[in-house]
Structure 1
Amino acid sequence: MWKKDPLDFSVGNKVANRKLSASITPTKVERFFDKNEIIVSKTDLKGNLIYVNDVFLKISSYVESDILGQPHNIIRHPEMPRVIFQLLWKRIISGREIFAYVNNLASNGDNYWVIAHVTPSFDEQMNITGYHSSRRVPNVDILKSTIIPMYATLLQIEKSNSSRKVGLEESAIRLNEIIKNTGVSYDEFILSL
């Protein structure tokens, strides 16, 4: 079973390496949403937004007509390690779900953290037709004690290499080591936090 295998970060298409479609400067101002709210979005197979709920619009400060059709990574914060998105895309294009902590970027540069549950959407023949994400408020103590330091390490590895590809590969190796040292799978690690 794949549970204890090292994480496989290879991706069969280029969607995981797509660049931000907007250049927004982070403000270092953090936004929050209510613990009872759920941010919901749906994308097509290429990751372009086809649905967002009111909570998404409120926290991100986007207008629905401006955001629909845009790549989901328009809200990707530049301080997020690329390796997390590489793992996310690898999982969902293979038909599996994933939970991940994600730092998002609002349209004005503010940020907001989420714990995301991302799943593929299927048609009647079990073909993947797109992707669905539900995001909740994460535990701040877990962010500060575990996720933010881990992501800072992964991001530093990615940025320290002059080759983006090699930086990403080295970051994946480090993430594998971190998960291996926990003695559990990635999923078990994230869900145990």
Structure 2
Amino acid sequence: MSLRDIVPTDKEIVMREDDFIVSKTDLKGRITYGNKTFIEFSGFDEKDILGIQHNLIRHPDMPRAVFKLLWGSIQDGKEIFAYVKNICRDGSFYWVIANVTPSIDEAGKVLGYYSVRRKPHPRAIPVISELYRKMLDEERRAGTRDAIAASSQLMEKFLNEKGMSYEHFVLSLQSA
């Protein structure tokens, strides 16, 4: 199954307070591990997702610029916190606050990436949804070639007006 086969719906699945969605990927973003909660929320069988690109669960409402920021951070060896809207196999969706970090061996070599996701603070979703909607609008307006740059510029302007980094903004929304 590919992302093109999934038709988004308006049905939201809300994470439980004590849920932790955990997954690991290789350096190319292919899933090497997903815990039971990951399997439950994604709606896929484990055998169907191992070795598949993690972007299988990326909801089309997610701006590409957010993933550029995320990948840039982890490829630089840094962890990142981000709000992400994921899509389920049945088209429903769920929001998470993700903490993504590089998995490093004893010699300091990056082996892959590790992501732990949990329930976002409810007040964060309307704020982040509005920002992401504006970023998506900007990506569409700019066209495929310039989409990420245009969306990134909009996000940078938004964050500069708030006087904070993306991660600081995300964590400020999470702490109630």
TM-score class normalised by the smaller sequence: over 0.9
Using the TM superposition, give the Cα deviation of residue 33 of structure 1 relative to its aligned residue in structure 2, in angstroms.
Answer: 2.1
Match of 1:81 among 55, 63, 76: 63
Using the TM superposition, give the Cα deviation of residue 186 of structure 1 relative to its aligned residue in structure 2, in angstroms.
Answer: 2.0
Q: Unmatched 5+ residue regions in structure 2?
A: none
Decide whether the 8 Å contact of 1:21 with 1:73 is kept in 2: no
Query: What's the counterpart of residue 107 of structure 2?
Result: 125
Query: What's the counterpart of residue 64 of structure 1?
Result: 46
Match of 2:26 among 30, 41, 44: 44
Decide whether the 8 Å contact of 1:32 with 1:59 is kept in 2: no
TM-score where L is the length of structure 1: 0.86
Query: What's the counterpart of residue 189 of structure 1?
Result: 169
Decide whether the 8 Å contact of 1:26 with 1:110 is kept in 2: yes
Using the TM superposition, give the Cα deviation of residue 32 of structure 1 relative to its aligned residue in structure 2, in angstroms.
Answer: 1.6
Residue 85 of structure 1 aligns to a residue whose secondary structure is helix
- Counterpart CA distance in 2 for 1:60 and 1:48 is 15
Task: Work out whether 1:148 is the aligned partner of 2:123.
Answer: no
TM-score where L is the length of structure 2: 0.94
Q: Unmatched 5+ residue regions in structure 1?
A: 1-19
Match of 1:26 among 8, 28, 34: 8
- Counterpart CA distance in 2 for 1:31 and 1:60 is 10
Alignment deviations for residues 122-177 of structure 1 (CA, whole Å, 9 cap, x no partner):
01111110000000001122111x10100000000001123x12121111111111
Query: What's the counterpart of residue 107 of structure 1?
Result: 89
Alignment deviations for residues 2-53 of structure 1 (CA, whole Å, 9 cap, x no partner):
xxxxxxxxxxxxxxxxxx9421110111112211010000000000000000
- Counterpart CA distance in 1 for 2:78 and 2:42 is 27
One-letter code of the match for 1:156? Answer: D
Residue 158 of structure 1 aligns to a residue whose secondary structure is helix
- Counterpart CA distance in 1 for 2:79 and 2:122 is 23
Residue 99 of structure 1 aligns to a residue whose secondary structure is strand
Query: What's the counterpart of residue 158 of structure 1?
Result: 139
> Aligned pair count?
172
The list of structure 1 runs, each at least 4 consecutive aligned residues, that deviate by more than 3 angstroms after superposition, is none
One-letter code of the match for 1:64? Answer: E
